[in-house]
Amino acid sequence: MESQLSLFYGLSFLTAALAFAFAVYLYLWVKKRRIENKKILEVSALIKEGANTFMRREYKILAIFAGVAAVVIFVLLPSPVWKGDIVQNISMTVAYILGTALSAVAGKIGILVATLSNGRAAEGAQKGIKPAFLIGFRGGAVMGLLVVGCSLLGVAAVLLIAGDATILLGFSFGASSLALFAKAGGGIFTKTADVSADLTGKVELGIPEDDPRNPAVIADNVGDNVGDVAGMGADLFDSNVAAMASALVIAQSLTGGFANISMVFCYAILGLLASIIGIATARVGKHGNPTRALNSSTYVTTAVYLVLTALATVIFEGFSWRIWGASAIGLLVGVIIGITTDYFTDDSKPIVRKVAHASGSGPAFTVLSGVSYGFISALPAMVGIAVSALVAYKLCEPMGAGYAIFGISMAAVGMLSIVGMIISNDAYGPIVDNARGLAEMGGLGEETIRTADELDSAGNTVKAVTKGFSISAAGLTVISLLGAFMSEANAALAAAGKPLITGFDIMSPTVFFGILVGAVIPAVFSAMLILGVDKNAQRMVSEIHRQFNTIKGLREGTAKPEYGKCIDIATSGALRELIPAGLMTIIATLVVGFIGGPMAIGGFLLGNIVSGLLLALFMSNSGGLWDNSKKYVEAGNEGGKGSEAHKAAVIGDTVGDPFKDTAGPSINTQITVVSLVSSLVSSLFVAFSLFG
């Protein structure tokens, strides 16, 4: 069995190298496309400079946070340095720093690729949907392949060197803590600019979305990169690492550990290979539907993964069909969740059109209908997560003690197995969103803008689908992380001679205390992020008014706006707001643990998972629904641009912007962070708690 595990270590490194090589090929393919339009070159350079400046300043702040956290981890984890094995503490600290660094690299890769691809996709739109789609998708695929390759490489290297899956929790915490702050900071930046540009441009002045006269327009395009690309890259890197880490921690504690660990790596390898095949076969016809092309690539990847993992289960010793079934259930439920999300957010489906029609009666009805359908849209995903967890649990329960939770963790691995394709689809969205703006600013004509709009609409739909997918996968991952927490807490309880945890009784006052506090944390976290957007956007709206009132010729287009002022407002505001919300969730976890002990933390995680998933799904889906309702009106329906329905739909979109791109997708990272903090600090909760 050990030789089989060694084989999978080798295959992990080989597959990661293959993904890197294919990513380099796609990068060079995109780079060969030429940009001829001087205005597009100029604006692309401004976007790239703004994005890199923000990332530089953000990473400086996060480096300070990571440095402080590394010192704390070295002193206290996995046990206080004066009590335990110093080598373990060093290993945990190095793993944490490596996870942080690779998560930062994932974000930086996203910026590099997106700023390379956006102008090329804009010019490709002049030749039709097919060339522009390929540039946007292949640009996104570079990020998808590199991020998943890095996560597989990092997890395999840490486990191979440390030889202890518990050290992986430090690696995963490094990835998730940086992702939490990067997603929050990028989300506040992007939605500050987007809300300000839409309200002043479309609603007040009646000018197009990406009109170069609007001082916020470049900040808006920068925001697409730092929020939707860099933030989401770090987020999905974290989700993939957390799913593998929780599965490996549980696998290590089971009988037949080598076979189970081999299975985790085998399925992760085959998921990356399936994503490579899906990316290589992605195509759209000359007059094809880009949404259908993106979805069909996901289905191809899913089918290839299921076939390859079934063959592996037949071939390799110790692989169980029950565990394969759990993994397959996770993936299939993920695809079904994607399809239901598509139904609620695609502008060719009835829900979006109903909200667009309601906009004709005013913005109140836009908001009311969007909120209602957003809440309804959470039902299929929540039921899907519940069903996949239940089926995976029952399927693997007969295999012995601990295998039921392992089954849930493998359902999460299965759901995230095609994450390479998911990230490719997700990064495609902001690339074509930027391309649409560049097409307008470059004066490429109405036909090109219409083509770019079609690509952008597909991007919005698929972004909503991928967010639903990643939030649902996070749900399964944190259920398995709850299992990892029980495993770590029981080891500490056994060492202290205390009774072990077999479950969490909600009638216990400490557990119920934890549930109530855990349930409110995602709501407070979301409020802090949305308030960050609100305060920042108010400052930017004032700056836009100042420029239009004081710069002569700006309204007429004979003078240039001061784009840098808006970029600076978005940057400074986002950096000021990004730390408090994330820090609040970590401090709340520690406070509950030191008051109520491991049982209270069990309740805390349960409450956090349930309310967090509901809020994340509601906000992501309602935001995507409002965005595509606006685009549906702008396409000439319900009165078209400039109508009352259009103004109402824009207001709905500005409400939805921080929902879908700031708070919603940040919540799943918040859930992962508190779960990892709980597992890492479980021994301290056992040793020091008031009522534990």
CA 483 from centroid of its chain's CA atoms: 23
* Residue with the two structure tokens 């119920």: 512
Write the DSSP string, 100-130.
Answer: HHHHHHHHHHHHHHHHHHHHHHHHHGGG-HH
Cβ-based burial of 96 (10 A; exposed 0-12, middle 13-18, buried ≥19)? buried
Return the top range by mean pLDDT from 7-11, 178-182, 282-286: 7-11
Whether 199 maps to a domain, the answer reads: yes
Q: How far are the Cα atoms of 317, 385, 398, 458, 470 from residue 392, in angstroms, in the given order?
A: 21, 11, 11, 33, 18
User: Looking at residues 532-548, what average pLDDT do you find?
Assistant: 92
Average pLDDT over residues 55-74: 91
Whole-number pLDDT of residue 358: 95
Longest dimension (CA), the chain: 78
Q: Is residue 583 a part of any domain in this protein?
A: yes
Closest CA to 508 of 591, 607, 599: 599
Structure-block tokens of residue 99: 């996870």
Q: What is the spatial distance between Cα 37 and Cα 550, in angstroms, rounded to a whole number?
A: 30
In percent, how much of the chain has pLDDT > 70? 98
Mean pLDDT in residue range 203-214:
78
Distance CA 195, CA 390 (A): 41
Quick check: 522 and 475 in contact, CB under 8 A? no
Between the alpha carbon of residue 169 and those of residues 126, 207, 672, the distances in Å are 48, 50, 11
Extract the tokens encoding 381. 């995903």
On the question of pLDDT at 286 being above 80, the answer is no
Interatomic CA distance for residues 475 and 471, integer angstroms: 6
Q: What is the mean pLDDT of the chain?
A: 88
- Report residue 378 as tokens: 């959470």
Instruction: Report pLDDT digits (tens) over 355-379.
Output: 999 999 999 999 999 999 999 999 9
Joined together, the tokens standing for residue 330 give 């996770």
Evaluate if residue 25 carries a pLDDT over 80: yes
User: Which of 519, 485, 517 shows the shortest CA–CA distance to 613?
Assistant: 519
CA atoms within 13 A on the CB side of 490: 13
> Dihedral through CA 533, CA 536, CA 539, CA 542, nearest 10?
-30
| pLDDT of residue 472 exceeding 80 | no
Picking from 165-179, 456-470, 531-545, 664-678, which range would have the lowest pLDDT averaged per residue? 456-470
Cα atoms found within 13 Å of the Cα of residue 614, Cβ hemisphere only: 14
Confidence of residue 249 (pLDDT cuts 50, 70, 90): confident
Q: What is the pLDDT of residue 5?
A: 85
What's the confidence (pLDDT) of residue 293?
A: 83
Within a 10 A sphere around the Cβ of 226, how many other Cβ atoms? 32
- What 3-state DSSP class applies to 348? coil
- Residue 115 identity: T
Instruction: Read off the tokens for 104.
Output: 């930062």
Task: Provide the pLDDT for residue 449.
Answer: 86
Tokens of 616: 């994340």
CB distance 319 to 312 below 8 Å: yes
What integer pLDDT is reported at residue 508 of this predicted model?
92
The residues, ordered by sequence, that sit 6+ positions from 410 with a Cβ below 8 Å of its Cβ are 247, 263, 264, 267, 323, 326, 327, 330, 392, 396
Contact 569, 54 (CB under 8 A): no
Burial of 56 (0-12, 13-18, 19+ CB in 10 A): exposed
* Confidence band of 17 (pLDDT split at 50, 70, 90): very high
Domains held by the chain: number: 1
Residue 504: which pLDDT band, with cuts at 50, 70 and 90? confident
Residue 555 pLDDT exceeds 90: no
pLDDT above 80: residue 453 = yes
Residue 570 pLDDT exceeds 80: yes
As given in the structure block, the two tokens for residue 655 are 């409400």
pLDDT at 209: 67
Mean local confidence (pLDDT), 418-430: 86
Say whether pTM exceeds 0.75.
Answer: yes
Region 517-521: mean pLDDT is: 97
Residue 525 has pLDDT above 70, yes or no: yes
Query: Quick check: is 692 in a domain?
Result: no
What is the span of the domain harbouring residue 511?
A: 2-687
Q: Is the pLDDT of residue 464 over 70?
A: no
- pLDDT above 90 for 93: yes
Asked whether the predicted pLDDT for residue 567 surpasses 70, the reply is yes
The pLDDT of 632-648, averaged and rounded, is 90
CA distance linking residue 338 with residue 356, whole number of Å: 22
- What SS3 state is found at 435? helix
Residue 210 confidence (pLDDT) above 80: no
**Coil, helix or strand for 259?**
helix
Reported confidence tier of residue 51, pLDDT bands at 50, 70, 90: confident
Q: Which residue has the higher pLDDT, 470 or 369?
A: 369
What is the pLDDT confidence band of residue 1, given thresholds at 50, 70 and 90? low
pLDDT score, position 418? 85
The CA-based dihedral angle spanning residues 299, 303, 309, 310, taken in that order and rounded to the nearest 10 degrees: 150
Please spell the DSSP secondary structure of 583-607, one letter per residue. HHHHHHHHHHHHHHHHHHHHHHHHH
If you average pLDDT over residues 229-236, what whole number do you get?
A: 79
What's residue 230's pLDDT? 79
Per-residue pLDDT tens over the stretch 608-636:
999 999 999 999 899 989 988 998 998 88
C-alpha 587/C-alpha 318 separation (Å) is 42
